[in-house]
Amino acid sequence: MTTEPLLEVRDLHVDIPLSHGRLHAVRGVSLSVGVAESVGLVGESGSGKSLTLRALLGLLPRPARIVSGTILIDGEDVTGLPAKRLHRRLTDTMSMVFQDSLTALNPVMRVGEQIAEAPLRRLGKSRGEARAIAIDLMNKVGIADPERRYELYPHELSGGMRQRICIAIALSTKPRLILADEPTTALDVTIQAQVLRVLRQLKQEEHVSLLLVSHDLAVVSQTCSRLYVMYAGKVVESGALLDLIAEPRHPYTFSLLRSVPDPDHRVDRLLTIPGQPPDLSQAISGCSFAPRCPFAVDACHHQEPALEPAGAAGVERRSACLRVDTAERWSEMVAEEAVSKQ
Amino acid sequence: MSAATSVGPVVPAVPGARRRSRGRWNAPLVAGLILFGLIVLCALCAPLLTSYDPIKQDLTNAFLEPGSKGHLLGTDSLGRDVLARLLYGARVDLQVGVLAVISPFVIGSLIGLIAGWFGGWLDAIVGRVVDMVIAFPFLVLVIALVFAMGPGTTSIYTAITLVGWVAYCRIVRGQVLVAKEQEYAMAARASGLPTWRILIRHLLPNVLLQAVVFTMSDIVLTLLAIVTLGFLGLGVPPPTPDWGTMIQEGQQFILDKWYMSTIPGLAVVLTGLALALIADGIVEKANR
Amino acid sequence: MKYLVYILKRLVSLIPVLLGISFIVFFLIRLIPGDPAATLLGSHATPDAVRELRNQLGLNQPLWSQYLTFLGHLLTGDLGFSYVYDSPVGGLIGASLPVTIWLLVSGTVFTLLIAVPLAVLAAARRNGILDNIIRTVPIAGLGLPAFWLGIMLILVFGLKLKLFPVAGFGDTLGAHIHGIILPGITIALTLAPILIRSLRASMIDVLSSDYIVTAHAKGISTSRVVLGHALRNAAVSSVTVLGVNIAYLTGSTLVVERVFSLPGIGQQMINSILGRDFPTVQGITLIFAIMVVVVNLLTDVTHAALDPRVKLS
């Protein structure tokens, strides 16, 4: 492939200063999103996935800060730009959809005005044009009767409608990539499906790329074609969605998949991953998942695995596991252990 | 009536300051206590700090500038020593200020406690009366009452009590409404204790904190009210020294003798600052 | 439309409060030690005049009937008669009320001019040097007597620098504006500390909320985010604080008018007190309370206009 990815992040580190020391929340994340591609970023809460996403737009919550890392847009390193131009460049390329649509919308401003704001203030449109753009966007994200709803305030809309408004706001800057941070977590299942459909349509009709952060594999698998799995501030596995689900090459992904209730294969109980994620304010030796890993050997506790190619030649597939060569037998191993315990 | 608003200036807590002071003491509280302690000490030791009589006139030595021989802060238009008047004035103003807060505190808290606990028509009547009183600007009603009752310290105490109790009543009533629903209150009620015992022993200690916190800012307001009454000629009757009266007397000579009004004014500002710091510190502690 | 109905409802809800106010004002006269009629007329009154006034005031009638008469007079706009000025109290108040309203409005405007920029700056540069100064200095202002501050301002800006008139309100609009600046600033300096603290606190709250991140993500300028999104939300909660305190500080117009010799109702009230002119004091007390009620009403109405979440029904 010769075309540059739309967005590439190299070795991103994010710190949260604490009263004693610091919390190393994102520990060298690298990822890329191609043009008109939907990419998922999956992990437990606290894995650093949301911070990674916010860092991309320079919107880290206080007091978190980027320690190091490179952001490339169309292959061009933008990290060195002066703050104002950087913000401009990032927000030109990307926009964001948040988890809680109620708090993400300004409560005292009409929703239509919130959509029209960027066209009005940034794209230099007139009031009338901005309004027309906003109504058009509301149509696009599936809001019926947009002229009337333009005048409403956030609290007067349902959760699903509000999230559509948020998506319309994200689209109002004409971005090429939408960053979505758990966009459906706060919604109930039927509304979830509708919002995900809107996001999929955008990709098909507008060729907008999507970087979707979620703790829910089901949500990601409905929307994305490629996945990054994060654990304790690092990407532990990446690859095409179908490959990854069919043949996980990292024990964390493996465990995560087993914890998803599968409607086709009935499981007697919901499997959860035993143990706690590591304390990121402390130094970690070896593989961060080793203490919870069913396949860990002594080496895992001392030697930190690198994220290395782990698939057939020509297939984009990476994993950070010392025991990746045993991956094909993981299901058997777990089954054997379950039997031996009984 | 809502518990969130009070009659006096609403002074919200400062969130930024909270993070710094984790200990039992915080900077505003310590600074305020030290400053206020010094002022009280000066007032108490007035006879030791000056040998002058604050009301004795000496027309041959009128209008002496600060720093004059024997008169550190000069003398006023009647030749009275300004330092002596300042120190004895502190005695008067602080005493009236503190005392004038006690009866509104006691009366307002009790009424608020009873109204909040029993509710019903009693609460409705109290609510109406509170609404009536808070419709008046504090100072205006106090002045009108002092005027109607005639000058003198008794009138001042009475007027401030008649107007000031509503603030405490609202605060305590609001707290009682919350506390009433908590389990310890329910448990006390279920145990069949006499009502007065539940109120005094169980409820009062739990609802009084906010009222005590407000007391500090209330002393500032009351002090300002007393000084203002003195300035308007409605305060402690002359020749008793009082900071407000001193400022008022100095105002007519402001162009030539600017210090005559400035010095007692600074005393008020300093006392107000000390009390405001204490109030601030207490709020900070209480909110933690 | 919904908004108009809301305002109407608020107006109707004022009736019991206004009745209560009239009740308290009525009872002020009962607090006078001795015979109110004799007190009203002063020490030089003849017994005949006192008797006549007592009849006229209905002091021989039962209390409730006296109150009803008083209320009836109020409703027809009759605030009583000043024996000192030999003129209806209503006329005296009518002449001086505009000055007080000028003072209140200019005080509020100056307060906003001082408090809003400082609070926004402090919140935007939180925990910086400027923030620490803006946070601590106003504490000193809480214990500042308005009248003394006024005297100091007169001394510096009126007498020494001769920038503003020392006293009075002038006759022309220009003179009015020139004369109201120092008194207005005096009011503002006592009111601003409270507003700065409240506004700063709510700005900090608002600035850390998600919709501010949303606004930043749109790529609009920081000043637009702070002024367009944050300030309006912070104003919603601070408007109530401002309203409560304007109501409270309405009382300080009294002393400020005194210090600057402004011919407003506060000055009138004090002159009437010194002249033992009871009906005028009574009338002005009533007007002050009505002003507070009006300020509270304006606060509620503004709050409802700023915050669409306020239920208008």
Print the SS3 string covering A309-324: ECCCCCCCEEECCCCH
d(CA A135, CA A129): 10
Q: How far is B131 from chain C (nearest CA, A)?
A: 7
Contact C219 A100 (CB under 8 A): no
Chain B interface includes C198 (CB < 8 A): yes
- What are the per-10-residue average pLDDT scores of chain B (288 residues)? 37 41 69 88 78 70 69 69 81 85 92 89 90 88 88 87 91 86 76 78 80 84 86 80 82 76 85 85 72
How far is residue A197 from each of residues A111, A162, A191, A224, measured CA to CA in Å?
21, 15, 10, 12
Q: Is 90 exceeded by the pLDDT of residue C89?
A: no
| ipTM higher than threshold 0.95 | no
Let me know: does A143 contact A104? Beta carbons within 8 Å: no
Same domain for C15 and C129, yes or no, is no
In terms of domains, do C195 and C143 share one?
yes
At A293, list the tokens.
């890993």
Nearest CA in chain C to B263: C148
Query: What is the Cα–Cα distance from B122 to B235, expressed in whole angstroms?
Result: 35
Lowest mean pLDDT among A28-32, A148-152, A155-159, B253-257: B253-257
B139-160 exposure pattern, b = at least 16 Cβ within 10 A, e = fewer: bbbbbbbbbbbebebebbbbbb
Q: Which residues of C touch B133 (CB under 8 A)?
A: 24
* CB-based contacts of C144, cutoff 8 Å, min separation 6: B269, B272, C189, C190
With contact defined as beta carbons under 8 Å apart, do C162 and C194 qualify? no
Cβ distance A119 to A129 under 8 Å?
A: yes
Lowest mean pLDDT among B214-223, B276-285, C208-217, C224-233: B276-285
* Option in C214, C221, C229 nearest A169 (CB): C214
pLDDT in tens, A156-175: 998 889 999 999 999 898 89
- Scan for tokens 């162009």, then name that residue: B255
Q: Say which range, A139-143, B79-83, C9-13, has the weakest mean pLDDT.
A: B79-83
Question: Looking at chain B, which subunits does it touch, using at least 3 CB pairs closer than 8 Å as the criterion?
Answer: C
Q: State whether C217 and A103 contact (CB < 8 Å).
A: no
d(CA A106, CA A113): 10
Q: CA-to-CA distance for C288 and C285, rounded, in angstroms?
A: 5
A124–C contact, CB cutoff 8 A: no
Distance from CA of C13 to the nearest CA of A (A): 26
- B165 vs A83, which has greater pLDDT? B165
Q: Determine the Cα–Cα distance for residues A199 and A215; give it in Å rounded to an integer.
A: 17
| B5 assigned to some structural domain | no
C151:B272 CB<8 A: no
User: d(Cα A184, Cα A196) in Å, to the nearest integer?
Assistant: 8
* DSSP string computed for C20-64: HHHHHHHHHGGGSSS-HHHHHH-TT--HHHHHHHHHHHTTTS-HH
The helix (run of H) or strand (run of E) holding residue B166 is helix B153-180
Tell whether C201 and C162 lie within a shared domain: yes
Neighbours of B197 (CB within 10 A): 12
% of residues, chain C, pLDDT over 70: 95
* Residue C44 touches chain A, beta carbons under 8 Å: no
What CATH number should be reported for the domain holding residue C263?
A: 1.10.3720.10
Are C168 and C238 members of one domain?
yes
Q: How far is C264 from chain A (nearest CA, A)?
A: 39
Rounded-to-integer distance, Cα C56 and Cα C40, Å: 12
- C210, C218, C307 member nearest A173 (Cβ): C218
Decide: residue A151, CB within 10 A, 0-12 exposed, 13-18 middle, 19+ buried: exposed
Does residue C113 sit in the same domain as residue C41?
Answer: no
Burial label, C215 (beta-carbon count in 10 A; 0-12, 13-18, 19+): buried
The residue from C20, C53, C87 where one domain ends is C87
How close C28 gets to chain B, by Cα (Å)? Answer: 7
Question: Do C280 and C149 share a structural domain?
Answer: yes
All residues of chain C having their beta carbon less than 8 Å from the beta carbon of residue A121 are 218, 220-221, 224
Whole-number pLDDT of residue C109? 92
For residue B107, tell me if it sits in a domain. Answer: yes
Q: What is the pLDDT of residues A45-56, one digit of tens each?
A: 778 888 899 888
Rounded to whole angstroms, the Cα distance separating C201 from C210 reads 17
C116/C259 same-domain check = yes
**Cβ C37 vs Cβ C50: under 8 Å:** yes
Any chain C CB within 8 A of the CB of A86?
no
**Are C201 and B149 in contact (CB < 8 Å)?**
no
CA A31 – CA A181 distance, rounded (Å): 16
Q: In what order do the strands lie in the sheet with A177-181?
A: A94-97, A177-181, A209-214, A38-42, A226-231, A234-240, A317-319, A308-309
Residue A69, helix vs strand vs coil: strand
Cβ neighbourhood burial of A336 (10 Å; 0-12, 13-18, 19+): exposed
Q: Among residues 254-293 of chain C, which lie with CB inside 8 Å of chain B?
A: 254-255, 258-259, 269-270, 273-274, 278, 281-282, 284-285, 288-289, 291-293
Min distance C217 CA to chain A CA atoms (Å): 6
Average pLDDT over residues A142-169: 90
* Pairs of residues, one from chain A and one from chain C, whose beta carbons lie less than 8 Å apart: 81
Residue closest to B103 by CA, chosen among B35, B153, B176: B153
| Residue A299 binned pLDDT confidence (cut-offs 50, 70, 90) | confident
| Phi and psi, residue A70, nearest 5° | -125, 135
Closest CA to A184 of A207, A159, A203: A159
Q: Exposed (0-12), middle (13-18) or buried (19+): which is B3, by Cβ within 10 Å?
A: middle
Length of chain A: 342
Rounded mean pLDDT, A20-30: 87
% residues pLDDT > 90 (chain A)? 22
pLDDT digits (tens, 9 = 90+) for A226-252: 999 999 888 999 999 888 888 888 888
Cβ-defined contact of C142 to B132 (cutoff 8 Å): no
Q: Which domain holds residue C73?
A: 2-87
Chain A: list its partners (3+ Cβ pairs within 8 Å). C
User: C63 touching B, CB under 8 A?
Assistant: no
C218 & C136 share domain: yes
Q: Is residue B54 part of a domain?
A: no
Residue range of the domain that includes B107: 78-286
CB A165 within 8 A of CB A111: yes
Chain C CB within 8 Å of residue A91 CB: yes
| Residue C277 pLDDT | 81
Determine the residue of chain B that is closest to C23 in CA distance.
B132
Q: Which of C213, C212, C206 is nearest to C237 (CA)?
A: C206
Closest chain A residue to the Cα of C236, Cα to Cα: A108
Q: Is the peptide bond before A63 cis (omega within 30 degrees of 0)?
A: yes
By C-alpha distance, the chain A residue nearest C305 is A108
Which of C71, C87, C103 terminates a domain? The answer is C87
**Cα–Cα distance between B89 and A291 in angstroms, integer?**
74
In angstroms, the CA B133 to CA B142 distance is 11
Contacts of C284 in chain B (CB under 8 A): 140
End-to-end CA distance of chain A: 51
CA distance A22 to A19: 8
Is C308 an interface residue toward A (CB < 8 Å)? yes
Closest B-chain CA to C260: B251
Residues of B in contact with C251 (CB under 8 A): 137-140
**Beta pairing, strands A226-231 & A38-42:** parallel
Residue ending a domain, among C41, C62, C87, is C87
Which residue spans within A34-93 are E strands per DSSP? 38-42, 65-73, 76-77
Decide: B154 and B99 in contact? Cβ < 8 Å: no
Token pair listed for C188: 């503002």
**Which B-chain residues 112-151 have CB contacts (< 8 A) with chain C?**
128-129, 131-133, 135-141, 143-145, 147-150
Tokens of C277: 């002119």
Q: Is residue B30 part of a domain?
A: no
User: Does the distance separating the beta carbons of C214 and A104 come in below 8 Å?
Assistant: yes
Cα Rg for chain A, rounded, in angstroms? 21
**By the CB < 8 Å criterion, does C210 face chain A?**
yes
CA distance C210 to C37: 66
Please report residues of C whose CB lies closer than 8 A to that of B148: 28-29, 31-32, 278
The SS3 call for residue A246 is helix
Question: Does the residue B279 lie in any domain?
Answer: yes
Q: Furthest-apart CA pair in chain A: how many Å?
A: 72
Structure tokens at C42: 């002063």
Q: What is the DSSP letter of A304?
A: P
Q: Are strands A38-42 and A7-17 parallel, antiparallel or unpaired?
A: unpaired
Q: Are residues C114 and C64 in the same domain?
A: no
- Of A262-271, B154-163, C276-285, minimum mean pLDDT range: A262-271
Which chain C residues are closer than 8 Å to B261 by Cβ? 148, 151-152, 155
Q: Which residues of chain C neighbour B170 with C-beta distances below 8 Å?
A: none
Number of domains in chain B: 1
CA distance C201 to chain B (A): 6
Question: Per the structure block, which two tokens stand in for C103?
Answer: 């003072």
Nearest to C140 among B9, B254, B273 (CB): B273
Least confident of A183-197, A255-269, C66-80, C220-234: A255-269
pLDDT of residue A321: 87
B67 within some domain: no
Contacts with C, B 200-229, CB within 8 Å:
217, 220, 223-224, 227-228
C309 interfacial to chain A (CB closer than 8 Å) = yes
Lowest mean pLDDT segment, chosen from B177-181, C38-42, C298-302: C38-42
What residue type is assigned to position C47 of the chain?
P
Domain of B86, CATH number, reads: 1.10.3720.10
CA A242 to chain centre: 17
Cβ contact (<8 Å) for B276 and C21? no
- pLDDT, tens digit (0-9, with 9 covering 90-100), for C147-196: 888 888 888 887 777 777 777 777 777 777 777 888 999 999 888 888 88
The verdict on a CB contact (< 8 Å) between A117 and C236 is no
Q: Which two tokens stand for residue A5?
A: 């990815």
**Is the CB of C142 less than 8 angstroms away from the CB of B149?**
no
For residues C232 and A113, give the distance between their C-alpha atoms in angstroms, rounded to a whole number. 14
Q: In this structure, is residue B57 part of a structural domain?
A: no
Contact of A277 with A293, CB cutoff 8 Å = no
d(CA A105, CA A155): 9
* pLDDT given for residue A270 in this prediction: 46
Take residue B40 and report the two structure tokens written for it.
Answer: 């009280």
Q: What's the angle, vertex CA B247, arms to CA B245 and CA B252, rounded to 5?
A: 105
Band (pLDDT 50/70/90 cuts) for residue A265 is low
For residue C84, give every residue at least 6 positions away whose Cβ sits within 8 Å of its Cβ, in sequence order, or none: C272, C275, C276, C277, C280
Contact C213 A117 (CB under 8 A): no
- Quick one: tokens of A304? 């930190």
The reply to whether B26 falls in a domain is: no
Among C301, C111, C278, residue whose Cα is nearest residue C191: C111
pTM of the model: 0.80
CA distances from B174 to B115, B178, B196, B208 (A): 10, 7, 19, 11
Provide the 10 A C-beta neighbour count for residue A83: 8
Contact call for A103 and C232, based on CB within 8 A: no
**Is residue C221 domain-shared with residue C191, that is, in the same domain?**
yes
pLDDT at A39: 93
Give the whole-angstrom CA distance, residue A11 versus residue B165: 65
B38 Cβ partners below 8 Å, 6+ apart?
none
pLDDT above 70: residue A263: no
